[in-house]
Structure 1
Amino acid sequence: MTEPSALSDSQLMARAHLWRRKSMMGSRDAGSIARAHEIEMRRRLGGATTKGAPLAQGRAQRRKWWRLW
């Protein structure tokens, strides 16, 4: 297996997706391999994924509908 650090960004994302899918299908070793690829993705991209992004920023500003005052 090629080390995640030796792959290009697009290859790394494709492999991380592939291994995560294999892990979800029940392969025992695929989870740890997927984690290694995902760790390398976070290291390179700096956590710039939508996984940790807030769902709606504007909703926190609105008043609750049941509060009349």
Structure 2
Amino acid sequence: MPDIEKDASAALDRELQAYLGRQLRRLFNQTAAEPIPDRFADLLERLDRETPRPEARVPRQEAL
């Protein structure tokens, strides 16, 4: 493949990647802005209450 074709192909690839990146960011931002459905929020709250928490441990100081 001649260098000119490689350069054009690389530019197209960069343009395509930039376009896809913009579209993915737009879609992600729209999705992230949507409210969490009540049934999922309720489930998360229930799991939070029912999941045992590890005890907080205070690091033991070593004897000098």
Q: What TM-score, normalized to structure 1?
A: 0.29
Greater per-residue helix proportion: 2
Between the two structures, name the one with larger relative contact order (CA 8 Å, sep ≥ 6): 1
TM-score, structure 2 length as denominator? 0.30
The structure whose Rg is larger is 2
